[in-house]
Amino acid sequence: MDLHIIFLHLAIILFLARIIGDTFSKLGLPAVLGEIFVGILLGQSVLGILEPNETLRLFAEIGVILLLFQVGLEADVQKLKDVGVLAFIVAFVGASLPMILGTLVSLYFLSLPLATSLFIGGTLTATSIGITVKVLEDLGKMRERFAQIVLGAAVLDDVFGVVILSALYEFSKEGTLHVSAILTLLLYIATFFILSPIVAQILARIIQMLSKALGTEDFIPPTVVSVIFLFAYLAHEVGSPEILGAFTAGLALSRRLTLPFAIFLKTDEKMAQKVEHTILPLVWVLTPLFFVYVGIALNLKAIDFESVEFWLMSCLILLVALTGKVVSGFLVSGSFREKLLIGFSMLPRGEVGLIFAELGRQANIYNDLLYAVVIFTVAVTTLLAPISLKLLSK
């Protein structure tokens, strides 16, 4: 694609995402819904002006990586520690229950092959952490207890999703599961989470010293962004999603982080503020590209809405998709409203569900009908979650 065409596409996306996102917000709807709607409108579902491509996907990934870094930077680490066990329970149930129910329903009710049933179950485990945190931020709920549980659970859910996806991909190719490979992947990811805050703090201290030596604070912003990208790369190398690398880097550079065995590396207030002021404008500009790209990647034209078989299968799979995530919120102590907020926050499949769907299609596990059912389920859960959270937050 020619460079000037890319510039035109970016101009259209950024302008429409902002104006329609703000219009949705003024109408009382989450802005992220407006941004996804822009993608659906411009993409293959309606006008066909834009198609998913590597350039747009790159900008979208940078947008969500910066968003997760900002979330990590502003996260209350102590609150995350306090709700760690609850977050694990929500993540584990929110991943395993849809996986089990989706597989059993596909296998026994829809009479699908085992590999196909497992892939459908795997698709339903996904939670789009990017969509969840953006909606909660827009609603001003990120400081509340349920949001901290959801944040921790969504991070863990992404790890579970990667492990499940890796296992299913190997199963689809070889017809068997390699338990040792799964355990090794989990070990790599755990090691990354343990070591990354220490490494990030060391790098932050080096950046501070170089900044003082050079006599300028202008050195800090680009080097911090380079640290974010480095941790995204390292996360990918150990088998974890890139966004989790950015999130851990944000946690590590947060002024609220305390490392018992590395307290001397604590990020000072001045640098933390400089980092926040650097990242925020980038987040405002690039994050909408991610949500627009989610809409572009949805191909609603692939769905035959007149097919009775499609509706029967979709209703059944959608019921599993809703139940599996919403039930996870009821394992946490709290009010009925808080339980629902947790459950519906875990609901959107977003880009993660689309990755599962695309891999299933490429591996010839999904035929056209099943692919349409999965796309429909991803679309409904992605659009339903922001609306539900908006209503429940009142």
Sorted by where each begins, the domain ranges of the chain are 3-393
pLDDT the model gives residue 262: 44
Whether residue 331 contacts residue 89, with contact meaning beta carbons closer than 8 Å, is answered with yes
pTM for the whole thing?
0.81
Instruction: Write out the two tokens for 103.
Output: 């597989």
Whether residue 242 contacts residue 236, with contact meaning beta carbons closer than 8 Å, is answered with yes
pLDDT the model gives residue 148: 86
Residue 346 DSSP one-character state: T
CATH 3.40.50.2000 applies to domain 3-393: no
Q: What would you report as the CA-atom Rg of the chain, rounded to the nearest whole angstrom?
A: 21
Tokens 């925020």, located at residue: 280
Pairwise CA distance, residues 124 & 101, whole Å: 9
Instruction: Spell out the residues 6+ positions from residue 212 whose beta carbon is closer than 8 angstroms to its own.
Output: none
Amino acid at 6: I
The parts of the chain modelled with pLDDT lower than 50 are 259-265
Instruction: Write out the two tokens for 52.
Output: 């998913």
Pairwise CA distance, residues 194 & 198, whole Å: 8
Pairwise CA distance, residues 129 & 67, whole Å: 10
Amino acid at 98: P
Closest CA to 350 of 309, 306, 291, 304: 291
Helical spans, DSSP H, in 27-53: 31-42
